[in-house]
Structure 1
Amino acid sequence: MTESTYITYSLENGVATITLNRPTVYNSFNREMALALQQHLRTCANNDTVRAVVLTGEGKAFCAGQDLAEATGPESLEISEIVVQQYNPIILLLRQLNKPVIAAVNGVAAGAGANLALACDIVVAKESASFIQAFSKIGLIPDSAGTFFLPRLVGMQRASALMMTGDKVTAREAVEMGMIYKTFPEESFAAEVQALAQKMAQMPTKGLAYTKQLLNKTFQHSLEEQLKHEAAYQQQAGQTLDFKEGVEAFIQKRQPNFTGQ
Structure 2
Amino acid sequence: MFSTIELTTDGRLARLTLNRPEAMNAMDDVMMRELAEAFESLKENEEVQVLIIQGEGRAFSAGGDIKKMVDPEKPMDISTVMVDVSRLAKGLYELPQITIASIHGAAAGLGFSLSLGCDVLIAEENSKLAMNFIGIGLVPDGAGHFFLKERIGIPKAKQLIWSGEVMDGNTAKKRGLVDEVVPEGQAAATAEALASQFLAAPIRAMIASKKILHEQNLKELEQVLSMESKYQVEMRQTEDHLEGIQAFVQKRKPEFAGK
TM-score tier by shorter-chain length is 0.7 to 0.9
Q: Does 1:6 align with 2:22?
A: no
- Cα distance in 2 for partners of 1:40, 1:204 equals 25
2:98 to 97, 100, 106: 100
2:158 to 157, 160, 167: 160
Shift of 1:77: 4.2
Shift of 1:68: 1.6
- Give 2:20's aligned amino acid: R
Shift of 1:217: 4.7
Shift of 1:199: 1.8
User: Could you say which residue in structure 1 is the equivalent of 2:181?
Assistant: 183
CA root-mean-square deviation: 2.0
**Unpaired segments of 5 or more residues in structure 2?**
220-259
Q: Does 1:150 align with 2:166?
A: no
Task: Report if aligned partners of 1:13, 1:198 keep a CA contact under 8 Å in 2.
Answer: no
Question: SS where residue 29 of structure 1 aligns?
Answer: coil
Bigger RCO of structures 1 and 2 (CA < 8 A, at least 6 apart): 2
User: Could you say which residue in structure 2 is the equivalent of 1:126?
Assistant: 124
- Cα distance in 2 for partners of 1:121, 1:191 equals 17
Shift of 1:218: 5.7
User: Could you say which residue in structure 2 is the equivalent of 1:56?
Assistant: 54
Q: Does 1:26 align with 2:31?
A: no
| Greater C-alpha radius of gyration | 1
CA deviations 1:36-93 (Å, max 9, x no partner) are 2222223322223312000010111111111122223344344343122x21111111
Q: 1:217 to 1:12 in 2, by over 3 A?
A: closer
Equivalent residues in 2 for 1:146-225 (5 A)?
A: 146-217=144-215
CA deviations 1:179-234 (Å, max 9, x no partner) are 1110111243322111101222333343222211222256699xxxxxxxxxxxxx
User: Could you say which residue in structure 1 is the equivalent of 2:82?
Assistant: 83
**Unpaired segments of 5 or more residues in structure 1?**
222-261
Structure 1 residue runs of 4 or more that deviate by more than 4 Å after TM superposition: 217-221
Q: Does 1:116 align with 2:114?
A: yes
Task: Report if aligned partners of 1:99, 1:208 keep a CA contact under 8 Å in 2.
Answer: no
TM-score, normalization by structure 2: 0.77
Question: SS where residue 168 of structure 1 aligns?
Answer: coil
- Cα distance in 1 for partners of 2:66, 2:179 equals 30
Q: 1:10 to 1:217 in 2, by over 3 A?
A: closer
Question: SS where residue 195 of structure 1 aligns?
Answer: helix
Task: Report if aligned partners of 2:27, 2:63 keep a CA contact under 8 Å in 1.
Answer: yes
- Give 1:79's aligned amino acid: I
Task: Report if aligned partners of 1:8, 1:20 keep a CA contact under 8 Å in 2.
Answer: yes
TM-score, normalization by structure 1: 0.77
1:39 to 22, 37, 42: 37
Give the percent of matched residue pairs that are identical in Structure 1 and Structure 2.
30
Shift of 1:149: 1.6
